[in-house]
Chain A
Amino acid sequence: MIGEKNYYLNVFQVDVPALDKLIGEALATGGGYADLYFENTTYGSLLLRDGAVTSGGNHIDFGVGVRVLSGEKTGYAYSESTAWEDMLASARAAAQIASSAAEVSPYGTRNPSRGEPNPNADRYPILQPWRGAPMSTFLPFLQKLEADVRRRDARIVKVIVNLAFQVSNILMYNSQKELKWDTRPMGSVSLSVVFKQGNLTENKSTSRSFRCGAEMLTDSLVQEMASDVVKGIDDRFAAKRPKGGQMPVVMGAGASGILLHEAMGHAFEADFNRKGTSIFADKMGQQICPKGIQIIDDGTLRGNRGSLNFDDEGIPGQKTYMVEDGVLTSYLHDRISAAHYGVRPTGNGRRESFRYAPIPRMRATYMESGNAKADDLVAEVSKGIFVDEFANGQVQIGEGDFTFYVKSGYLIENGKLTQPVKDINIIGNGPAALADIRGVADDLSIDPGAWTCGKEQSAPVSCGIPTVLIGKLTVGGE
């Protein structure tokens, strides 16, 4: 939701002349570019545990960050108050980075995105506000969800439901006199369940997270999440660790998108490439995976956890093709890296809060659908593994080695799913895995879960993928 300019100026008790004056102070020692990032965030949470909503609270985070660029060097400081003296102190602290005048060319000439970004788009209207609504409004949702889950399986011994929401008012201004403002909502529901069967215990969880208002808390969401968390529990109890080794892996549609995020997306973030540390640092314009594959980072999906009307440098949200027809076509840029490479920023300059300087970060990262059918990809494998539920992942940017943890999946034997498997890791090398993609199905799914990326700072993201067959990855088993 975007709203009116004056609302934001009032929230932060500033006006444009004062912002100009502050920018002037920030550049007084010779910096080439400066920007201000004002944030007023309200967080709320409710926790249902042991059958009752007995814990909740609200939190306020307010402040302004001042960034000064001197060439590619960054000075950063912030204040938790917008009183003039406090902001001035921050501007002067940030200005220390600059020892002499330096030129910055924050925009280049080549736009790696398809089409022009729309600066007027509103990708997350709030239909039912979180802010100002009494907490009692939200209690029934948690209670209904718990009741629905318990009704579905007698083996359930514990249920935890957590509702977390936040609303951030953002005001941005920079030395190019660009003033941008935005209100970003986020609602997240997580559901965690412990099952007991004889002496065996298993836990399952699911989550939903969207940039929207409280209108997300519907009965259909209750049913969807309750159904999701009990689905496959019989297989989970029956699951075993497979014998480890190298084998073909079929990545199920949706949450397997974490492979793209970890193994490829981070290596496409331009700061790693600018510093020469990424495995893709010298691969621009080269064929890095089979023809026909498109990999995208998208800030424009309505209500998506990773979407942005503007990034945290005031660049309009946009859709960036990182790989087109198998060729590496764009990194993910903030203003610094865009200036370094002589391209336009891609709207990937993001930060956890006003306490952090922006860096290139992903938004919603996914691969476009291909032409194959998911069942046909499984049928191609004589001995391998199908994976569809993940806990987390990690990558070593320099080497390109990735690991991600599989919570559930199945062995593939003679083209059919057989024994359920769980609690294993899959490891591989990003460029090698990309080059080894054997087939892409026509069933792209963006996972709706509460994915959070932890590169230096926390940032909400999402990921997606169609069903994909990779020729060979290492599976850790017994």
Chain B
Amino acid sequence: MEKAILTQEEITLAKHCLAFAMQQGADAVRITLTKSLMNLVGLLNGEVDKTAHALDRSLQLQLFVEGRFGSFSSNRLEKEGLEAFIREAIGTVKMLEADAFRALPAPERLAKDAVTGRELGLYDTEYESLTAEKRREMALSSMAWPRLSSAHPGNSWKLISEEGEYSDSVFDSLTLDSQGLEARHTETSFEIGYESTVEDSEGRHFSSYWWDATPRLKDLQLKDCAEKACQRAVAQLDPQGVPSGKYTLILESECASKVVTLVLNALGGYSLQQKNSFLTDSLGKQLFPEGLTILDAPRTPGDTGCRLFDSEGVATREMPIIQNGVVKTYFLNTYISRKMEMEPTVEDATRVKVLPFGGCRTQEEVLAKMRDGILVTGFNGGNSNPATGNFSYGIEGFLIKDGKRVHPVREMLITGNFLTLWNNLVAVADDARPCLSKLVPTLAFKEVDFSA
């Protein structure tokens, strides 16, 4: 167990590397030391199919030398080897071209409350009691194969494959810089995931998945994961065509983060500075519908994905990203903010939360309110143009009539422009599962182009 957490010896080594880099001529240094331990039990069709054990360590250095900048890393954490690596790295940085915009963040912006790494309550000591046998037991207890794979007269399908994975991990990191930053983050994670494939009476295959993840073992939903994956695969049986046209798009929470991520990417400093964003010059403008508010809430104790500091060590804070349709922030690290001559914010959003809008709490309420449309439950390929916001994605899901699922649809595409799409937003539910990296609930958009 002890090996999962950074040792004092490893921390001392990182501090030595920082001091050594300064001695060798660096003007400023940032070091991030990370360590993670992961154990996995994989299942295939009712049996343990694989086990994995992984211990990773890495020391990342960001060096500011004579007005130049370079980024380096090594997983060979021996003192002498690292000293040689740092000497060579400083030589490499000196060969690059000068960049006046590179600098560490102003000291007053740095996190000062990430001392033990456990302030957010994301480390579960229950992890320490886990053994290989216990992991195997938990994994085996989560299977649905023994029950669902046997013949069930009357079923129009049979389960032909059930792949599952239970895994747990500890992640520990320490970020140091030459102006005194010491910021630590430690968390545990427990995950279960299943992918099930069913075959219909004509030999066609349909697959789906379900998963859960949590920082606390007691919250992990082991029991119904495999069953849900199978149910979702069975629900896809007998897909039928739907004519091309404009439909209301109801986007299931499980896959709705895609459309939010693309907005966040467009608000990222590098995209904006390189003029490769459809949200260029959008700050302070009402470009989204009034009902839309997206927050970054990175400091909620116990909440998956929260962090007290970003990759530069800058303290995170709760802030609106979009508030009542108005763009409230860009994501600007120290470098990009200096290039764009704007105030820095944070490197990226940490824990994104889309607030409810339109009076619906659940997916069922959204379906009932929309009455007709297409419920999208997954994407299959596609892309978008970051400069224009135009997109085209393959989708799978269900035709909805009178608020009910009529039949599955496949081989369909949605196309459009993100700004147009968001301005056709008509509902945001309140059903995002806590395990999602972004808390994006079921969303509904009117008049979206579907091709079939």
Report A's interface with B, CB cutoff 8 A. Answer: 46, 49-50, 52-63, 72-81, 90, 93-94, 96-97, 134-136, 139, 157-158, 160, 194, 196, 201-203, 241, 244-245, 262, 275-279, 282, 355, 357, 391-405, 422-425, 427-429, 474-478
Contact = CB atoms under 8 A, between A and B. Distances in A.
Contacts, number: 233
A276 B145 CA distance: 15
A457 to B, nearest CB: 12
B256 to A, nearest CB: 18
Interface in B134-163: 160-161, 163
Contacts of B410: 399, 401
B324 interface: no
Given A135-B92, A427-B381, A474-B413, A58 B72 contact: yes
B333 interface: no
B95 A423 contact: no
Contacts of B377: none
B416 to A, nearest CB: 9
A398 B197 contact: yes
A382 to B, nearest CB: 20
Given A160-B274, A425-B413, A54 B75 contact: no
Interface of B: 42, 44-45, 47-57, 68-76, 85, 88-89, 91-93, 95-99, 102, 132, 160-161, 163, 197, 203-207, 244, 274-276, 339, 380-388, 390-394, 396, 410-415, 449, 451-452
B411 A73 contact: no
Given A54-B98, A427-B411, A399 B207 contact: yes
Contact of A194 (B56, B57, B276): B276
A97 B48 contact: yes
A93 B411 contact: no
A277 B386 CA distance: 35
A149 to B, nearest CB: 15
21 contacts: A55-B69, A57-B70, A59-B73, A62-B76, A74-B50, A75-B51, A93-B51, A96-B51, A134-B92, A135-B92, A158-B276, A203-B276, A241-B392, A275-B44, A277-B161, A278-B205, A396-B396, A401-B394, A403-B413, A427-B411, A476-B413
Given A78-B54, A399-B204, A475-B451, A394 B92 contact: no
B94 to A, nearest CB: 9
A331 B88 CA distance: 46
A interface, by DSSP: helix, strand, loop or mixed?
A: strand
Nearest to A390: B383
Contact of B95 (A63, A135, A262): A135
A427 B380 contact: yes
A397 B96 contact: no
A241 B415 contact: yes
Contact of B74 (A59, A78, A244, A394): A59
Contacts of A81: 76
Contacts of A201: 275-276, 387-388
Nearest to A397: B207
Contact of A74 (B49, B75, B385, B390): B49
Contacts of B72: 57-59
B52 A357 contact: yes
Contacts of A61: 75
Contacts of B449: 244, 478
A276 to B, nearest CB: 5
Contacts of A50: 339
Given A56-B92, A72-B49, A245-B244, A405 B383 contact: yes
A275 B274 contact: no
A298 B160 CA distance: 31
Contacts of A63: 75
B234 to A, nearest CB: 13
B56 A355 contact: yes
A423 B92 contact: no
B381 A478 contact: no
A62 B75 contact: yes
B161 A476 contact: no
A55 B72 CA distance: 11
A244 B394 CA distance: 13
Contacts of A394: 380-382, 394
A428 B48 CA distance: 35
B95 A136 contact: yes
B3 to A, nearest CB: 9
Contacts of A428: 411
Contact of A96 (B98, B132, B275, B414): B132
Given A54-B68, A76-B52, 11 more contacts: A55-B71, A60-B76, A73-B47, A203-B386, A275-B163, A277-B207, A398-B205, A399-B205, A404-B381, A423-B388, A477-B451
A62 B412 CA distance: 45
B403 to A, nearest CB: 27
A49 B161 CA distance: 48
Contacts of A56: 70-71, 92-93, 96
A194 B273 CA distance: 12
A357 B410 CA distance: 33
A73 B396 CA distance: 33
Contacts of B93: 56
Nearest to A48: B97
Contacts of B54: 77-78, 355
B381 A392 contact: yes
The 6 closest A-B pairs by CB, nearest first: A403-B381, A476-B413, A403-B394, A244-B451, A394-B381, A54-B99
Given A277-B161, A427-B394, A405 B382 contact: yes
Contacts of B99: 52, 54-55
Nearest to B380: A403
A275 B159 CA distance: 12
A478 B449 CA distance: 7
Contacts of B386: 203
A398 B383 contact: no
B6 to A, nearest CB: 14
B231 to A, nearest CB: 16
A276 B415 CA distance: 33
Given A54-B97, A398-B207, A425-B415, A194 B387 contact: yes
Nearest to A429: B411
B115 to A, nearest CB: 27
Contact of A425 (B47, B50, B393): B393
A86 to B, nearest CB: 9
A79 B57 CA distance: 10
B92 A54 contact: no
A196 B95 CA distance: 33
A344 B408 CA distance: 41
B205 A403 contact: no
Given A56-B92, A405-B392, A73 B53 contact: no
Nearest to B85: A60
Nearest to B38: A355
